[in-house]
Structure 1
Amino acid sequence: MSRRIAVVGGGPAGLATWQRLRDTGHEVQLFDPEPGGLMRTIRHDGWIIEAGAHTMATTDAGVGAMLRALDTDPEESSVAPRTRGRQVLLHGRPTPVPLSPGELVASPLLSMRGRLRLLREPFISAKPGGDDESVQDFARRRFGHEVAARIIDPIVGSSTGGDPRQLLARVLFPQHVQFEAAGGSVLRGAMRAGMQARRRKGGSSMPLSSHTNGIDWFVRAVLRQGNGSVCREAVTGITFSDVDVTVQWGDGSERFGGVVLAVPPAAMRAIRVVGVDAGQFEKVATMPCASVASVSLGYRREHVTRPLTGGSLLVPSSEHLPLLATFSADAMFPGRAPEGHLLITSIVGGVRHPDAFRDDDRTLTQQVHAALAGAMGLVAPPAMVHVTRWEGAMPQPVAGHFVRLAAADALEAGAPRLAFAGGWRGGMSIGEAMASGLRAANRLGGTMPA
């Protein structure tokens, strides 16, 4: 049965929801002032700037099928990064991140003592730390202080904007937690999983990639479909009744058969929701969220004497810099900068440096340039600057996270015309956010009352 459904939030999760609902015959209205969320590409004077995510990947069959069905534009195509190598800034010098257990043991990121501690991991008794064990505690317990501080800390900080001392291991590293629970060793479990993956043929996953003209290809492809409508307004209220849902925005309102709420928890706080359990909704909406700024700097090639050799440079908290990570667009994808130039994008702020997010563009530019001058050999100011701020865009799965997820489940059970979607619900990556959107679409499209 066809239903009329509102999707509030046009990030990766909301757009995936919108696409799936339309594909299954529903009439759908999307609400978002600027659809795309973290999949935002800026094109300016020959620069192709990723203001949010740079790449995406998925192991979800439904997401993979959706992406392949949309990827039909003959003028642009999927492209894998030329390098997947990452580096960590250690004592001011870029150092390669190991990509396998063998490389990890031999990594220059670790001292001899750190390597010996790592080699003990398979022989350390499994002592699962429970649902609220932090990433840092899990990493220290299994691998030792150096791995936790020099490898896990910068990887987690750059991808979440959060603090590994607070973020939950079970959310960010569920497979590794399961390796310990099932076999007593993370390293043994990782090696077995790697061998099994190499033996598999085919499959429905999509590898790490972007597109020739930017990661926002997905946004443009979905919006081109034209089978639904977009209201470029911020929703201010949602009222549930026994027979329908009223969505309010600005001076307007409209009734729908159901609604998918696909905005970050921080954005839910600005929406007045009536007709559901207020206490449970507050648990979801008060999930902590981090804010970051994306600072893109373009340099003349001769002014960068030590370009990054990997696709990204991750910055551990021990370096005491406002940067979380820097991405080298040129190292990953060709044609992202005009001839004779290099493009780098740095992520600033997060839980580690919350005040940096609010600095003006000039201050942010100066901070990023100064932080990278030594590591990259910058000898002149940037020729191009672009700053994008993402307020409250990074949900933080910290202690109490599973209580909040249970609250979302209870809200959906009590309000069959409501579904939630987003990275906070099913994983932090773009692909996982899309998968949560497909699940929300399947739930609401199939179980909502007529």
Structure 2
Amino acid sequence: MKSIAVIGAGITGLTTSFLLKDKNLPVELYEASGRPGGVIQSKRQDGYLAEFGPNTLLNTNKKLEYLFKISGLKEHVKFAEHKGDKRFLVRNGKVIAMPSKAFSFFLSSLFSWKAKYNLMMEPFRPRWKNAYEESVAQFVRRRFGDEFLTYAIDALVAGIFAGNPERLSVIHGFPKLYKAEQEYGSMIRAQFLGAKARKKRGETSKQEARILSFDEGLQVMTDTLAQKLGDDFHPNCPVTAITQIPDGWRVTYRQGNDLKQKDHSALLLATSAYAAAQIDLQSTSSFNLNSFSNISYAPVSSVMLGYKREDVGHPLDGFGMLLPGIEKFNILGTLFSSTLFPNRAPQGYVALSSYVGGMRQPELAGLPQDKLFKMVHDDLVKLLKIRGEPVCCISNYYPRAIPQYNVGYGHFKDIVYQLQKDCPGFYIGGNYTRGPALSDNILSGFDFADNIEDYIKTVAPFEV
């Protein structure tokens, strides 16, 4: 049996490759860059630990624990401190704790009594029955009202997608919300009635899931999975073409100055959308990968600033804060990194990880480092009562950080579906197909590994 090709060493490609190898199936992972992990990258500097991509992972499924166990990652897992459970929103320039329970919601100063009344009335509003696709903003206005959109959902969308709720599709960007309305008629009703279904599937709600990372950041996970692949991981090998052949798929790739080819029995394409669009796909399908270049990505800069604990007036007693656009600050949000994981800063100091740019202010993401550091510091001074200058500054810029699931995104999902239907043994994955959540993309690796194993059994039953 020929090996299975996986193209792209982001978390989906790494997880799938590792699990296939664990199933004793031959696999080869091609990566265009010199390192695994995609946007996942951790950096230790001056006693601080910064994350350039996602900062944390939600333990939403027992499969994650299984992966950590069989890969040897379990001993490196670090769960976030419980004092990081609290979340904050900014309103009128003040950092206010988000209500965590129904009772505290009605006492909160975050929302007016009109907004609270709108929330109480949500279970009585009718389901969406019109034919056209709603944006997140339209969905939230219809079910909760303008104030909830302006001060909560706008900030949430910036925190998850670095996106614009007026453009983001609710059915593709937040499919669980759309499904909750269609199945239960209400978000609030779904929250209560959906708990039993989650338990049956072995899932934990994102509100209840524990936050985790690893002792030296999330890069520990991606580095470990790549190391377990050994010589089957091929960095600096950009794939230029994929060709369907009678018994599988031929991969054309560059290795140094040489152009090489290798045949495989099945293939998972797990690159970014814009990287996939550069690959020449020759298959029996009438569809190709070119249109993936039209998928929008939000530019984001991550900025980690370290301060003396005594110079920060805010207690930093939570996960972090999100900022609605109406507040007119430059940052999208800030994580209280050293509250979550004390080893993110030296003793007596704190680490604050902020994000700049997104679809709200894309022009800010690419600013020079010195301007970024000053801009973020100035915002944090106002919000967190900071008196001193930062003692450590680390930043990273991703011009294409997070794919935007905007209205009309179903067109791209249809192409993914049709290509996989037309081309047996060909699969497409990554955060432009499964959403931006890190846990969801790891779990998709389990699905791909199982589907590929089942496919191999049908084409080569005596070789598996």
Same fold (TM over 0.5): yes
Separation of aligned partners in 1, 2:283 and 2:306:
50
Q: 1:121 corresponds to which letter in structure 2?
A: E
Equivalence map 1:431-446=2 (5 Å): 431-446=439-454
Superposition map of 1:294-333 within 5 A: 294-333=302-341
Shift of 1:65: 2.3
Residue 8 (structure 1) aligns with: 7
Task: Report the Cα offset of residue 38 of structure 1.
Answer: 3.2
Q: 1:184, CA displacement in angstroms?
A: 2.3
Equivalent residue for 1:215, pick from 215, 218, 240: 218
Q: Work out the number of aligned pairs and report it.
A: 446
Contact 1:11 1:35 in 2 (8 A): yes
**1:92 & 1:181 partners in 2: Cα distance?**
37
1:235 partnered with 2:238: yes
Shift of 1:241: 3.1
Q: State the 1:296 CA deviation.
A: 0.8
1:41–1:51 Cα contact (<8 Å) kept:
yes
Q: Matches of 2:162 and 2:353 in 1, distance apart?
A: 15
The worse-fitting range, judged by mean Cα deviation, of 388-397 and 359-368 is 388-397
Check 1:131–1:391 CA distance in 2 against 1; reply closer, same or farther (3 A cut): farther
Deviation per CA, 1:412-432: give whole Å up to 9, x if none: 222224211112212320011
Is 1:406 matched with 2:411? no
Shift of 1:177: 2.2
Matching residue of 2:121? 120
1:278/1:63 Cα in 2 relative to 1: closer, same or farther (>3 Å)?
farther
Match of 1:375 in 2: 383
1:26-45 matches, within 5 Å, as 26-32=25-31, 33=33, 34-45=35-46
Q: What secondary structure sits across from 1:302 in the alignment?
A: helix
Name the SS of the counterpart of 1:339 in structure 2: coil
Do the aligned partners of 2:329 and 2:379 also contact (CA within 8 Å) in 1? yes
Kindly state the Cα deviation for residue 102 of structure 1 after the two structures are TM-superposed: 4.1
Which residue number corresponds to residue 48 of structure 1? 49
Structure 1 letter corresponding to 2:162 = G
Contact 1:261–1:420 (CA under 8 A) maintained in structure 2: yes
Match of 2:251 in 1: 246
**Change in CA separation of 1:26 and 1:93 when aligned onto 2, cut-off 3 Å:** same
Contact 1:128–1:180, Cα closer than 8 Å, also in 2: no
TM-score, structure 1 as length reference: 0.91
* Residue in structure 1 matched with residue 262 of structure 2 by the alignment: 255
What stretches of structure 1 move > 3 A for 4+ residues in a row? 58-64, 71-74, 100-106, 128-131, 200-207, 269-280
1:196-207, aligned counterparts within 5 Å? 196=196, 200=199, 203=202, 207=210
| CA shift in 2, pair 1:36/1:130, >3 Å | farther
Alignment partner of 1:330: what SS? helix
Aligned counterparts of 1:113 and 1:412: Cα–Cα separation in 2: 48
Q: Secondary structure of 2:449's partner?
A: helix
Counterpart of 1:426 in structure 2 is 434
Decide whether aligned partners of structure 1 residues 201 and 269 sit closer, same or farther in structure 2, where only a CA change above 3 A counts: closer
Structural RMSD (CA): 2.5
1:298 is paired with a residue whose SS is strand
Is 1:363 the counterpart of 2:390? The answer is no
TM norm structure 2 = 0.88
Q: Structure 1's 374 and 282: CA in aligned 2 closer, same or farther, altered over 3 A? A: same
- Cα distance in 1 for partners of 2:96, 2:17 equals 42
Deviation, structure 1 residue 61: 4.9
Contact map agreement 1:280 1:410 (CA 8 A) in 2 = no
Question: Counterpart of 2:289 in 1: which secondary structure?
Answer: helix
SS in 2 for 1:38: coil
- Structure 2 counterpart of 1:66: 67
Q: For residue 162 of structure 1, what is the aligned residue in structure 2?
A: 163
AA at the equivalent of 1:152: I
> How far 1:234 sits from its partner (Å)?
5.2
Q: Is the 8 A contact 2:71 2:228 kept in 1?
A: no
**SS in structure 1 at match of 2:67:** helix
2:354 matches 1:351: no
Q: Which amino acid aligns with 1:245?
A: R
The code of the aligned residue for 1:302 comes to E
Match of 1:437, SS state, is helix
What secondary structure does 1:163 align onto?
A: coil
Q: Is the 8 A contact 1:41 1:216 kept in 2?
A: yes
1:322 to partner: Cα distance? 2.8
- CA distance in 2 between counterparts of 1:324 and 1:332 reads 19
CA distance in 2, matches of 1:212, 1:447: 37
Tell me the percent identity.
Answer: 25
The 1:260/1:312 distance shift into structure 2, 3 A limit, reads same
Secondary structure at 1:366 match in 2: helix
User: How far did 1:128 drift?
Assistant: 4.2
Distance in 1 of aligned mates of 2:77 and 2:242: 42
Q: CA separation of 1:215/1:410 partners in 2, compared to 1, >3 Å: closer, same or farther?
A: same
- Structure 1 CA distance for aligned equivalents of residues 132 and 305 of structure 2: 40
Whole-Å separation in 2 of the counterparts to 1:47 and 1:233: 29
Query: Which residue does 1:91 correspond to in 2?
Result: 92
Q: What secondary structure does 2:181 align onto?
A: helix
CA distance in 1, matches of 2:454, 2:365: 41
Q: CA deviation at 1:373?
A: 1.1
SS at match of 2:417: helix
CA apart distance, 1:340: 1.9
Task: Return 85-94 or 21-30, whichever deviates more.
Answer: 21-30
Quote the Cα distance in structure 1 between the aligned partners of 2:267 and 2:183: 39
Residues in 2 aligned to 1:417 and 1:182: alpha-carbon distance in whole angstroms: 33
Query: 2:289 maps to which residue?
Result: 281
Are the aligned partners of 1:131 and 1:170 in contact in 2 as well (CA < 8 Å)?
A: no
